[in-house]
Amino acid sequence: MAKRILRASPWDEYCGVLQNVIKDEPFTFLDFGWFRVQIRSTEIASIREQLEKMIGKRISLLKTDNPEKPLLLRIVGDE
């Protein structure tokens, strides 16, 4: 079954267990299992390393309309 690809827009929030971070210029895809979130690689560059350390953890990602901080990231739960 093909995974659903969601394009991140301002104030969209995605939550789930991060399975993988896939770079495919000009985008990066965050794989949450049954869906993937498409984000411009330039927006994710500042947190890419942090995201890769969170693979296997339940995270929440919020896309903002602030060009200086386009993404807010946090771990969800006590894992």
Task: Flag whether pLDDT at 57 surpasses 60.
Answer: yes
Mean pLDDT of 15-21: 97
Domain ranges of the chain: 4-75
Checking if the pLDDT of 61 tops 70, the result is: yes
Tokens of 33: 């299992």
Architecture of the structural domain at 4-75 = Beta Barrel (2.40)
Which among 32, 76, 68, 65 has a CA at the least distance from the CA of 47?
A: 68
Tokens 């895809």, located at residue: 29
pTM score, whole prediction? 0.88
